[in-house]
Amino acid sequence: MKIKTGHKFVLFLVSAITAVVLCTLPFLAVKKDTLYVYTNSPELLSSERGFIRELKLLGLNVVVNSNHEPEAESYGLWFKNPEYAREVASSPAKINFLYTQAYYPIEWADKNKHPVVLTPYRELYEHYVRSNIKTAQLTLGVNTMDYYADGSKKKYPLLYVGDNNKVSPVAEYLRTQEKAKFMGAFWEKGVDILAINENVAQDRRKALSQTKIAVVYNAPETPASKIIPDEVLEAVASGALVLSSPNSEISRVFGENVVIYENEADLNNKYQYYLAHNEETQKKIVAAQNILTEKLSSKAAAIRFKQILDWMKENNAN
């Protein structure tokens, strides 16, 4: 019996759809890993938003600030202070992570219940390794969707970036410089401060994009001098040349593309030099941005976290 042309087409269509469905089923059967993320504040920080966005792009199903604990077959990540570790230990998730920028070690009575500690500090990471505590070094990085060079004209030759809640001889010195402006909180009247909303990333990015040289200061042996501070990451991402007080981590990652000054006199010599040598300044800015994109962006942090998670899953390290 001959099959009519119309019926042949229908049979072909059904066969084609069936083949597509059968080929697709193995992929549909692969269930995404679910990661529950809990932050200190309901209002996510720029770095947290960028990190979560990139985790989703890597294929994770991310649930943010759920009202309940992670499910038993999922994973948990807490952006919390170390004191929160005991509550994290009660989580039923297969693997629990605690990310904290606090610069002091966490101690547990029962090390079998502690989460995997993620820290940006090399010294703390090494301490946890010696103490046989599951750990990894991770810097959350900068959200390059919020901070980027937008091609703005450089309105500000010299900008001090930092809050006025710490003793800073550099800030005191820059107050005497006509070219210097300030960006940060808690500055008193009379300081030439940029009138922006410090809590809005877009406002900070716009100001930094219009800055030629950004100056950052952190006193020796303070926690901020042992990591790459957010002020440095934001300024680099936004297209400013950064001059920083001595910081071994900055030098290790950025090399000479973030300029280190030793004191006020050295700062004066260096900012004067780079204001006068635009081509050299621009080369350092571009090189620093490339390093940041590769190693210290939200995307780089998400890739690093996914590698840590996958390694622990493969090695049954929960």
Spatial separation of the C-alpha atoms in residues 244 and 176, rounded to whole Å: 19
For residue 110, what pLDDT is reported? 65
pLDDT tens digit string along 145-162? 999 999 889 999 999 999
Residue 80's SS3 state is coil
Q: Could you give the count of Cα atoms lying within 13 Å of 105 in the half-sphere of its Cβ?
A: 16
pLDDT tens-digit profile of 198-217?
Answer: 889 999 999 999 999 999 99
Residues of the chain with pLDDT under 50: 1-3, 5-14, 16-17, 20-29
- What pLDDT does residue 89 have? 82
Return residue ranges of the chain for CATH 3.40.50.2000.
156-295
The overall average pLDDT reported for the chain is 89
Look at residue 111 in the predicted model and tell me its pLDDT: 61
Q: What is the CATH number of domain 34-141+298-314?
A: 3.40.50
The fold adopted by the segment(s) 156-295 is Rossmann fold (3.40.50)
Cα separation, 85 vs 119, in Å, equals 14
CA–CA distances in Å: residue 234 to residues 66, 135, 230, 238, 255 = 29, 26, 6, 6, 17
